[in-house]
Amino acid sequence: MTASNAFDERLDDLVETFDLLGDWEERYRHVIDLGRSLAPLTDAERSEANRVRGCASQVWLVTEMGPDGALLFRGDSDAHIVRGLIALLLNLVSGLRPEEIADFDAATALNRLGLSANLSSQRSNGLAAMAERMRRDARAHLPVR
C-alpha cells in the first residue's frame, strides 16, 4: 500500500466512524475521547520551539523522523477538544513520508468529516495552523533537489 493510499484509507475510516456516530454532539465527544488517548508530552517538549502559533489554546507539536523515513508526530494541548483535533490530524498523517504530508489538504479532509461546519472560526484557524505546521515540518525533511 502506498502512502497516499494509506492516507486515503485512514481518512475513509475516520469518515465511516463519524458517519456511524450520527449527530455532532456524538462526534464532538468522540473527538474529545481521541484526545484522551494521546500520550502527554514531557515538560521539555512543551517548549516555545514546539508551540504552534495561530492557536487560541496552547498547542505543542513534536516532529521526529522515523527509522523508515516516515515522519512521526506527537502533540498536546491544554484544551480537551483541541487535543482531540490534534489526535485526528495525527491519525491522518503521522507515519507517512514527508512528500505525502507536504501537500496535505487538511481543509478537504476535515470537510469530509463534517468538522468545518461545526467548529468555531477560532478552532478552525487553530486547526489550519496545526496542519500548516505539519506541512512545513514535512517540507523541511524533503530531499534537496
Q: Looking at the annotation, which residues are catalytic?
A: 55
pLDDT value of position 71: 96
pLDDT value of position 145: 64
Half-sphere exposure of 94 (CA within 13 A, CB side): 16
Q: What is the pTM of this model?
A: 0.90
pLDDT value of position 4: 62
**Residue 144 in grid coordinates:** 534537496
- CA–CA separation, 2 vs 49, rounded Å? 32
pLDDT value of position 35: 95
**Residue 55 in grid coordinates:** 492557536
pLDDT value of position 1: 45
Full DSSP string of 27-71: HHHHHHHHHHTSPPPPTTTSSTTTBPTT-SS-EEEEEEE-TTS-E
| Phi, psi (degrees; rounded to nearest 5) at 64 | -130, 145
Mean pLDDT, the chain cut into blocks of 10 residues (145 residues total): 72 92 87 94 96 91 94 95 93 92 83 80 86 94 79
- CA–CA separation, 131 vs 119, rounded Å? 15
